[in-house]
Every structure is written in C-alpha cells, then in structure tokens.
Copies of this chain bind each other. A is one copy, B any other.
Amino acid sequence: MTIPDVARHAGVGQATAARVLGGYGSASAATRERVLAAAAELGYSTNAVARSMISGRTDTLGVVVADVENAYFARAVRGIADVAAKAGLQAILANSDEDSEKEKAAVQLFIERRVDGLVVAPAATDDEHLARAVSAGIPVVLLDRVLTGAALDTVVVDNRGAVKAAVTRFTEAGHTRIAVITSAMPGDDGTRLAPGADIWTTTERVAGYRQALRAAGIPRSAELIRHTGYERAWARSAVLELMTSRDRPTALFTTDNVATLGTLDALLDLDARIPDDVSVIGFDDAEWTTLIRPRLSVVSQPVQELGGLAADILIRRISGAAARPRRHTLNTTYIARESTGPVPARTRRLRAPAECP
C-alpha cells in the first residue's frame, strides 16, 4: 500500500494524498478527510525508509557502549533513549565490549545507515572513525570518556577530582596503605595496563588516586594499583592475592562496578570485617549498595543525566547548532555510608579460602 494506491482510491492526485499523509503543504478539509478515509481503509502506513531517502534524515541515533548489561551503560542508554524519544528519534544500540575494532565496525555501520547522530563511549584511543562520521555530516557526542585531541562534544564527570576527594578521606583518616582496583585489562603484571586498554575514565581515576596520595605525602607503591580485567572473578582473585600479601592495604578504592563487585566477593571470602579490617569506597552507586552491611560508601554520578545531556547536545547539533564542540562536566557526589573507618590498630591476618577448581 503506497501513496499512489491511496490517491487512486480517494480519487485525488498523488501529490495531494502525499501532502495529507505526510502532514505538509495544504489541503482542504474535504480532501483531507477523503484521503485519510482511503488510507485507513487500505491500511496504509508511511514508509519511513522512502521518506529518509529524500528527506536525508532517519530519525535515529546510533549508540555505542561497552555493554548494556553493565548497569552504568544501561542507565546511560535509558537516559539517551528517553531524550531521543521526546524528540521523535529512536536509538540503535551496539555493544563494543571495550574492543576498538568492534566499535569501529559499529560506527561504520551507523554511517552507512545514515543515523542522524552518534553517541559513543569510546574504547578506541584514536578518533579516525569518528572523524569519518563527522565529515559525513553526522554529529558525534562522546559519553563517559574524553578522547584527547578529538574536537567533539563530550559529556563526562570530573573523575580525577572525585577520586582525589574520595581517596583524601582515606588519607585524612590516617590510611597510608591504600590500593586501587580497576577492571581495565592488565598487561604483564597487574600494575600496568594492556596495550590499548587505557580507557580515559580509568586513567583519570587512577590519576586522582595518585594525586590524593601525593597531596598527603604518601610515597607511591606500584603493587597497590591493580588492573584486573573486565570479569568480576578476576577482580576477586586479584584482591584475594593483594589482601593476603605481606603489608596489605588497609583501604581499597574500586574504580567501577565490576571491580567493586569482585572486591567485595574477595573480602567476604576472606571474612574481612569492613571497615574494621579494611575500608572500602566504590565508584558509581548501584542498587545494592544499601543492601549490604555495612552499606557501601561511594562516589555517585548522575548517569541517566549524562546520557540525557549527550542526547540533548546531539539533537541540538542535528538541528544545526554550530557552536564549538566543548566538554560538559557534571558533578559527582560522595555518599558517606559505613564502609570506611580509621586505620586498624593491628592488621589482622586474613586467610584465603580453599579454592575449589
């Protein structure tokens, strides 16, 4: 069922039927009614593909995140989809799994689909693929992560400052053995990153940790920085090892969801008492942080707003806003709960559980 069909059935010209059905131009009340009636009778539905063909717009946004299953990205996607829907756009989703090749392939597909805009949480460290999108006339907004050197709108939080402030609470409470656990992919040893695994967010958070230590005059020690990879179980075993080592840390900062989960797994397995044996602060609040005892203190970020703002900027760009791309930094909040305390007088020996293979 196409416009010519409806036009014939209503006894009007194609162009007239098209105007009524497309809601543009003018038509008399009488013809409008006849066309609408004919359309209803024939079960006509607009072909958005043909419309996009000529209008040049597809009313879609491409969204590339690491993994929707991750609560952080799920919330961000929700924020994007909500704002997009309000503007009549829909979101097409792609998961990169932090793999820059997958990300590039997804972006290429989005360019071919002629999406109206692109929200990307970049795993890649270069922006060639994104520049291609921009030069194809597709505005791009970066989410969660800055890409240095790329002239793109970017929506982030002040990761470095937030972590510095949080870790400073540790140092002010007297902690000097403070470890940081991330779920970035480790290189040879766990204290360095695998090539290509330098996600901006993680790097910034570790930098904030370093700044806090330096400000407190605490010498840095490499073995307290643990990159554990994107599986919860890997974070668990890294922390298990860390916490049973000689001169173990008395405070842990986890830079993300997965690291936090694995870290708590380990502490539970070790029967470590929080905060008596070890203090913990996590990055990013989750639905379960008030369900555990003690409740987990966290750095909370406005994730859904982050996504919403990204979509908002994109929509403005799509409708022609030409301002210089800039970085938008949203505020984080430190939520003090009960997982932090003073340095234990004597560090109790923790025993790793027997591992079952």
The answer to whether A71 has its CB under 8 Å from any CB of chain B is yes
Q: B-facing mask of A218-261, CB < 8 A → 1, else 0? A: 00000000000000100000000000000000000000000001
- How distant is the Cα of A58 from the Cα of B82 in the complex, in angstroms? 23
Query: A93, B67: Cβ atoms under 8 Å?
Result: no
Query: B60, A112: Cβ atoms under 8 Å?
Result: no
Quick one: closest B residue to A136, CB to CB?
Answer: B45
Query: A265, B287: Cβ atoms under 8 Å?
Result: no
Q: Of the candidates B48, B68, B95, B136, which one forms a contact with A112 in the assembled complex, judged by CB atoms under 8 Å apart?
A: B48
Contact partners of A49 in chain B: CB under 8 A? 49, 52-53, 58, 113-114
The answer to whether A24 has its CB under 8 Å from any CB of chain B is no
- How distant is the Cα of A245 from the Cα of B156 in the complex, in angstroms? 47
Q: Of the candidates B92, B291, B304, which one forms a contact with A292 in the assembled complex, judged by CB atoms under 8 Å apart?
A: B291
Give min CB distance, A166 to chain B, whole Å: 21
Query: B93, A77: Cβ atoms under 8 Å?
Result: yes
The answer to whether A120 has its CB under 8 Å from any CB of chain B is no
Give min CB distance, A70 to chain B, whole Å: 8
Complex copy number for this chain: 2
The answer to whether A111 has its CB under 8 Å from any CB of chain B is yes
The answer to whether A264 has its CB under 8 Å from any CB of chain B is yes
Query: B60, A92: Cβ atoms under 8 Å?
Result: yes
- How distant is the Cα of A82 from the Cα of B265 in the complex, in angstroms? 28
- How distant is the Cα of A92 from the Cα of B92 in the complex, in angstroms? 4
The answer to whether A293 has its CB under 8 Å from any CB of chain B is yes
Q: Which of A97-149 contact B (CB under 8 A)?
A: 108-109, 111-114, 132, 135-136
Query: B91, A48: Cβ atoms under 8 Å?
Result: no
Q: B-facing mask of A286-320, CB < 8 A → 1, else 0? A: 11101111000000000010000000000000000
| Top 10 closest pairs, chain A to chain B, by CB | A288-B288, A74-B74, A48-B112, A69-B78, A48-B113, A49-B52, A46-B112, A92-B92, A90-B92, A49-B114
Q: Which of A65-81 contact B (CB under 8 A)?
A: 67-69, 71, 74-75, 77-78, 81
Contact partners of A47 in chain B: CB under 8 A? 112, 114
The answer to whether A50 has its CB under 8 Å from any CB of chain B is yes
Query: A71, B68: Cβ atoms under 8 Å?
Result: no
Count chain B CB atoms within 10 A of each CB in A53, A113, A114, A132 and give the residue with the most. A113
Contact partners of A336 in chain B: CB under 8 A? none
Contact partners of A71 in chain B: CB under 8 A? 69, 71, 74
Query: B292, A292: Cβ atoms under 8 Å?
Result: yes
Q: B-facing mask of A172-213, CB < 8 A → 1, else 0? A: 000000000000000000000000000000000000000000
Query: A93, B112: Cβ atoms under 8 Å?
Result: no
